Amino acid sequence: MKARHNLNALEDRVRPIADLCLQCFDEEMSTAAAQAERFFSEVIAHGSVWSIQDGEGFPTSTNLDGETAMPFWSLESRA
């Protein structure tokens, strides 16, 4: 199952972060930088992110420092 998360309420926070990230990229972007630029541009344009969920919840990954991350996608077709 895919879940759409509306970001309209967070737009004031998301847009400045995206703008800052986009300003940091050089003219010749790495693959990761190009993907990040596309992600932020699509999130701003559509006002949402997508995640996946099954009967056990949302997938997460925890690193050795105990920090947990959850993947998000900018378009439903990418999730």
The dihedrals phi and psi of 37, each to the nearest 5 degrees, come to: -60, -45
User: Three-state SS for 25?
Assistant: coil
pLDDT at residue 3 in the model: 62
How much is the pLDDT for 27? 58
Pick from 76, 61, 77: nearest CA to 3: 76
pLDDT at 63 over 70: yes
Phi, psi of 59, rounded to the nearest 5 degrees: -70, 140
Domain that holds residue 17: 2-78
pLDDT in tens, 23-58: 555 556 788 888 888 898 898 888 888 999 999 998
Find out whether 1 and 27 touch, Cβ atoms under 8 Å.
no
CB 45 within 8 A of CB 64: no
pLDDT band at 62 (very low <50, low <70, confident <90, very high): very high
| Number of domains into which the chain is organized | 1
The answer to whether 48 and 6 have CB atoms below 8 angstroms apart is: yes
pLDDT band at 21 (very low <50, low <70, confident <90, very high): low
